[in-house]
Amino acid sequence: ETFKVELDTPAYKGSVSCNTGLFINGKFVDAVEGGTIDVINPSTGKLLTKVAAATSKDVDIAVAAAKKAYKTSWGLKVPGAQRGELLMKLATLLEANIDEFAALECLNVGKPWSESRGFDMKLTLQTLKYYAGWADKVHGHTIETNEQKLAYTRHEPYGVVGQIIPWNYPLTMVSWKIGPALATGNVVVLKPSEITPLTALKFASLVQEAGFPPGVVNIIPGYGSTAGTAISMHPDIRKIAFTGSTLTGRKIQEASAKSNLKVVTLELGGKSPNIIFDDADLDQAVKWAAIGIFSNSGQVCTAGSRIYVQEGIYDAFIQAFSEAAAGLNTKTGDPFSEGTIHGPVVSQTQFDRVMSHIDAAKAEGAIPFIGGERHSLTEGFFVKPTIFTNCTPDMKIVQEEVFGPVAAVVKFKTEDEAIEMANDTNYGLACAVFTENVSRAVRVSNALEAGMAWVNCNITTEYNVPFGGYKQSGYGRELGAYAIDTYTQVKAVHINV
């Protein structure tokens, strides 16, 4: 079964297609129990296609295939250089088809073409190439002990790794997960989000074409409660890498404890503070604050959703920031149209969730300075870029992750007060500081409890810089050399000489 459409749009002309089966042991197959998932286009609310839905039976088959592949044709059997070559081939194939991947992502996620093609695909490609380069550079250390003994370390793969990813950056998340896992010799069973499985399935066809041994990569769409639970409980999976909500992260850790104590790394939610000081460059602060909360319709785990503004710059900032939001509102719509830079949220469920956060904020006394309602487009799941003022630290809109284009602005007087309010959260993914004073920039970014800090910029992510959180935003790091560590376990070898 395949999904195929012809597009004739300003951004993309041509066909877009992908397989709709489960990719297990190098082949596309139906789910054992025959279930399917409806895949919706969020720009229209209409059905795009149906894909196979994995259950625990399919997970068992995929894990068995992966386990066999690990023993016979991957892992320590295959030199790093060979793994790297295959990864580079995969990257090259992706590059050759990149426009089609971008278009498929636009259809399934509602991302504007400029984001999908201009950001997601670029980062995906960079990530794959980067980890292709790592494959033959994973090695341990020699440790001098005493005259009679030599010790050295080996960085060995875990074996079968389970990977569960969300819907906000579907293909990019595939590359963040699969790149370092394969480079280090692991084999994977990856479950894309049930909401956005299409680019992952298309990617599976490239895995096939690149010539990976069957079973090294298995990609199985399915629901969290069935396929997701089966992956996190599976006794033959040694590590889980998860990106998604804090609630699900907890369940995955529990499942690990109840099953086989598999190693778990978690990239979870956030409520990242942006602190804008009186001495900030106003234009830059406005530009980056808008990028921070409105990119990908606010569906970014590092979104700058709490904005603390010092009293001296407050009025000027709010004015300019709301103009930026108003500008985006006029450029909201179909991802493929010229000039669209703001798309829908991903699903009816997310739309309802975002609207209920907006209603709750109004009920608590926050003022929607701009937005605060559904966009005038009646088809699809469009929310107006929204800025709440009059926010106080205890409000839900300041504490809870909305995962939509909704900013909560809080006024502050002193640096200490800003730091205290910014750290008053269970999350700790990221933060941003805007000031022209370098001492303050260093002091404040050091004082904030977050795994990533941006100074005079926001939510920029580089494939070679570690990505991950503090506190309930998770642990373990993706990207850069740090991800190599999270996909390997260290063996110490002692030799009596």
**Block residue for tokens 């794959």:** 128
Of 248 and 274, the one with the shorter C-beta distance to ligand NAD is 248
In this structure, are residues 408 and 361 in contact, taking their beta carbons and an 8 Å threshold? yes
Of 74 and 131, the one with the shorter C-beta distance to ligand NAD is 131
Q: Which residues bind ligand NAD (CB under 6 A)?
A: 164-168, 191, 193-194, 223-225, 228-229, 232, 243-245, 248, 251-252, 267-270, 301, 401, 403, 429, 474
Spell out the alpha helix ranges (H) of 211-345.
229-233, 246-258, 282-294, 311-330
In degrees to the nearest 10, what's the CA dihedral of 119, 121, 122, 125? 150
State in angstroms the smallest separation of the CB of 264 from ligand NAD: 11
The residues with which 264 forms a beta bridge, in sequence order, are 240
State in angstroms the smallest separation of the CB of 46 from ligand NAD: 21
Q: Which residues of 379-398 are buried (b: 16+ CB within 10 A; e: fewer)?
A: ebbbbbbbbbbbbebebebb
State in angstroms the smallest separation of the CB of 50 from ligand NAD: 17
In this structure, are residues 431 and 453 in contact, taking their beta carbons and an 8 Å threshold? yes
Spell out the alpha helix ranges (H) of 33-79.
56-73
Of 25 and 248, the one with the shorter C-beta distance to ligand NAD is 248
Largest CA distance in the chain: 78
311 is catalytic: no
Backbone angles phi, psi at 239, to 5 degrees: -145, 145
Of 128 and 268, the one with the shorter C-beta distance to ligand NAD is 268
State in angstroms the smallest separation of the CB of 255 from ligand NAD: 7
Q: Which two tokens stand for residue 454?
A: 């941006």
Report the C-alpha gap between 339 and 314 in whole angstroms: 30
Q: Which two tokens stand for residue 407?
A: 């900013």
Point out the catalytic residue in the list 100, 105, 115, 267.
267
Cα dist. 321→282, 318, 324, 370, 460 in Å?
A: 10, 5, 5, 10, 19
* Side chain identity at residue 232, one-letter code: S
Of 346 and 370, the one with the shorter C-beta distance to ligand NAD is 346
Helices 98-109 and 80-96 cross at an angle (nearest 10°) of 70
Report the C-alpha gap between 325 and 238 in whole angstroms: 45
Of 114 and 232, the one with the shorter C-beta distance to ligand NAD is 232
State in angstroms the smallest separation of the CB of 339 from ligand NAD: 27
Of 25 and 168, the one with the shorter C-beta distance to ligand NAD is 168
In this structure, are residues 221 and 201 in contact, taking their beta carbons and an 8 Å threshold? yes
Report the C-alpha gap between 177 and 248 in whole angstroms: 18
Report the C-alpha gap between 457 and 454 in whole angstroms: 6
Of 20 and 168, the one with the shorter C-beta distance to ligand NAD is 168
For the chain, report the end-to-end CA distance as a whole number of angstroms. Answer: 61
Active site members: 267
